Chain A
């Protein structure tokens, strides 16, 4: 049903043929499949930390906005094609992405961790994980890390969504999944996730995957400055903390 919704939206957007909103409003894209940051609620509307932050930023900038949903792999191409003005989807600033789009300051921090059955042995080295199968979402910083670090020794399995990655872990088809800690936090509290826990040590704090940023079209300096300024505004006026508390019992900024 989510997929159908998303497709419908994409079709609507393409059909409208009008990439820019007439009233100077912003078109914000998110993935809608990355709880608790962005997901589709019971009414089929995009929701989550990213969506709340996006709306708060629009309000701080004094501009109306529409939050749209697209597949993870379509977010940057959509931004480049002018279908969206900004992407708020817990995106990390990797060197590959920086060549295509510009990034704002970070709007939350979170380190990536391996999630696995804590009862089994987990040695977080290429040797220790040799011949093990490791999962991550395709096109993410975590997938890049796995390929770079364990691509030669381990079996890397990439999925389209976070849910699919975690599904592979539940079914015992992979030995561990490299996911964002905050995204895994929700999963680990569910019944399905009760068997699993964070294992090993998180990825280094200076890894690109450790900060989430907002992407805009290359060269759109004006919007970027407005976003950075708006992040400061919502940090100072308490809006950010209010949204933060709604999802997490600790500060993620």
Chain B
């Protein structure tokens, strides 16, 4: 379905215009519109500019010239008036000349104007000439008229004629006449009267003179009339020309400014049109962007919103542009994708849940296991602790029992009694050995054992080991041999106590399970071995160990089979201790055995190089008799801190034949109190005591001594805790010597004698 749709859409897609070309096309259209508008406006502005420049450079000067011409024409008219009206011929000449100069003005260069101006000047010149002639006539007339004035030579003859008075009156009126018609009438009247008078002589002469005067007056007024007509003509012409020029100038300026205004108006209209077109284009553009870009984008946004709200099947109306069409499709696709994604997420969530449950279950199992392990370990620890506590508790009475047995042997018993006591003693020691083994194993397993690194003399070591086991071998009637290989170094360094413990255990084990034959210890070194590597082998000719149990015999409390226990006894701890100690020293015990053919235990260890001088030869212990004797001679004041009453009694018995004085304290605090109030040569300090233990008591004693600036009193620790760690703790607390329980009489007396400075 979606495939089909995609195909259909992709067919549409190619028909759709792309965004960028469409936008470019729109921009181009906008640019073209802008450019056209710009072109039109700039053309209008250019035209206005050209008109303005032309107006400034051509039209305004033209107008100015026309105005000037009009002004000059008017001025010419004024000059003409002056020439026409002035009575003074000088003034008339001046203004005629001025008019002449004025006509030369370059502003009258235009032919038509120039013609009219030249015509006008000609008229002005004519007026001037006529005026001069008129002046002449008037002067003559005035001279003739003077004779007819009152008292004049011609007045009396004229008055003597009939109608003489009328004629004189007519003459007078004629001299005042200003208009030619009036004068013509007066002259006719005068001529008629003169004809009727028929005068002669002086009267005739008077009449002739009067006639001549009237003729002159007639000429004067005729010239006057002509001047007036000429002036009117000049004036009218010039005013008309000037008026025309003014109007022309005004018209030119007006038409030009009208043209500019029209052009500006066009520019404004174009500008308004341009703004309108631009606004329209902008609007269309906005509409286009809205419809073709914004609306599809908003639809897409809404679509995405719907998808976000969980809608899956999104269908968007088609977009016009290819890119937006693509976006639409992408949005639609994303709806489908979201659906798939949701499905997958759901599946994954379910898987996750299952996984979580599984993890939960597994974790629970693990927790159970851990708890079980913890419980087991706790039980184991409790067992070890119980064993350790039990051993300690057993050891203390055993101490007394063995001590008593030792003391009984001193009482000269009968041979039978001695035999019983010795069995009694052996059983006690065996029990003690069992307890020590239990204690050892629990210490080793608790990781409380730290190996020593001391120089060892190989032969001396082997010899002393033989001494330890010699008694038991002899009792069983077996042969015991020690072989030391040629390549074995004479000295090496290691933990002699632990190494011997392992060997003694293995030998004891061999002795125990061998009825006849030999038990052999060999120490050897292969040629290819690095220096310091040695192999210890213990071989017996005993009952052997079946193959199927060989792997288990190193476990605790395990023997070859239950019947073995019944037959041979033993705790089954010996081999377990050996195995742990060898492992601790960096090796492992190897067993070769078959039932009835004996067993071979071997292990290989790497030791450091030893030093020859480090090991002092062991001094022989003095005999018990000698020790008793010594202590009887030199009495020692002893403070004995011991909580067990039986042990107190035993110790008292040990010292019974000596001269030593004993003072008992049943706990640490009492010991410290006694030490502070009395003087003692030596202190025997039990470690495990109620109220205050031996360590604490020793530290208090040492502190007391430092306080008193007294010489340190020897303090010998006597403890059932038999490990070196315990010994080190004692030394750290300030003890001078160390005795492990059970303490034999000889050991105790020897130690006391040594520290008292007696035998050495």
Contacts and interface: CB of A to CB of B under 8 A. Distances in A.
5 contacts: A185-B98, A189-B94, A194-B93, A205-B106, A249-B75
A182 B101 contact: yes
Given A249-B79, A249-B95, A250-B75, A185 B90 contact: no
A248 to B, nearest CB: 8
Contacts of B97: 185, 188-189, 197-198
Given A197-B97, A202-B104, A249-B75, 6 more contacts: A110-B101, A189-B93, A198-B101, A205-B109, A249-B79, A249-B95
Given A189-B94, A205-B109, A249-B95, A181 B104 contact: yes
A165 interface: no
B102 interface: yes
B72 A250 contact: yes
Interface string A209-226: 010000000000000000
A238 to B, nearest CB: 16
B556 interface: no
A104 interface: no
Contact of B102 (A113, A197, A210, A250): A250
A226 to B, nearest CB: 24
B102 A189 contact: no
Contacts of B163: none
Contacts of A132: none
Nearest to B102: A250
A249 B71 CA distance: 13
B94 A113 contact: no
B100 interface: yes
Closest 4 CB pairs of A and B: A205-B106, A202-B104, A111-B104, A181-B101
Given A189-B93, A194-B93, A210 B100 contact: no
Interface string A37-60: 000000000000000000000000
A39 B497 CA distance: 160
A6 interface: no
Which among B71, B90, B97, B109 has the highest number of chain A CB atoms within 10 Å?
B97
A202 B102 CA distance: 11
A155 interface: no
Contacts of B79: 249-250
Interface string A157-181: 0000000000000000000000001
A109 B93 CA distance: 22
Nearest to A248: B98
Contacts of B95: 249
Interface string B77-97: 001000000000010011101
Given A189-B90, A249-B95, A210 B106 contact: yes
Interface in B99-139: 100-102, 104-106, 109
Which among B94, B95, B104, B109 has the highest number of chain A CB atoms within 10 Å?
B104
A109 B106 contact: yes
A210 B101 CA distance: 12
Which among B75, B95, B100 has the highest number of chain A CB atoms within 10 Å?
B100
B120 to A, nearest CB: 15
A57 B105 CA distance: 25
A110 B95 CA distance: 17
A205 B104 CA distance: 8
A220 to B, nearest CB: 28
Contacts of A188: 93, 97
B94 to A, nearest CB: 5
Nearest to B108: A205
A250 B101 contact: yes
A194 B96 CA distance: 12
Contacts of B105: 109
A197 B97 CA distance: 8
A65 to B, nearest CB: 30
Contacts of A210: 106
Contacts of B71: 251
Contacts of B90: 189
A108 to B, nearest CB: 12
Nearest to A194: B93
A249 B98 contact: yes
Nearest to A187: B97
A176 to B, nearest CB: 16
A182 B90 CA distance: 17
Interface string A228-253: 00000000000000000000111100
A122 B251 CA distance: 42
A248 B97 CA distance: 11
A249 B102 CA distance: 10
Contact of A198 (B94, B100, B106, B109): B100
Contacts of A181: 100-101, 104
Contacts of A198: 97, 100-101
A250 B103 CA distance: 11
A188 B104 CA distance: 16
A252 to B, nearest CB: 9
A248 B95 CA distance: 11
A41 to B, nearest CB: 21
B102 to A, nearest CB: 5
Interface string B42-57: 0000000000000000
Interface in B12-41: none
Contacts of A205: 106, 109
B238 to A, nearest CB: 14
Contacts of B101: 110, 181-182, 185, 198, 250
B376 to A, nearest CB: 125
A128 B467 CA distance: 187
A113 B79 CA distance: 20
A188 B95 CA distance: 11
Contacts of A194: 93
Contacts of B104: 111, 113, 181, 202
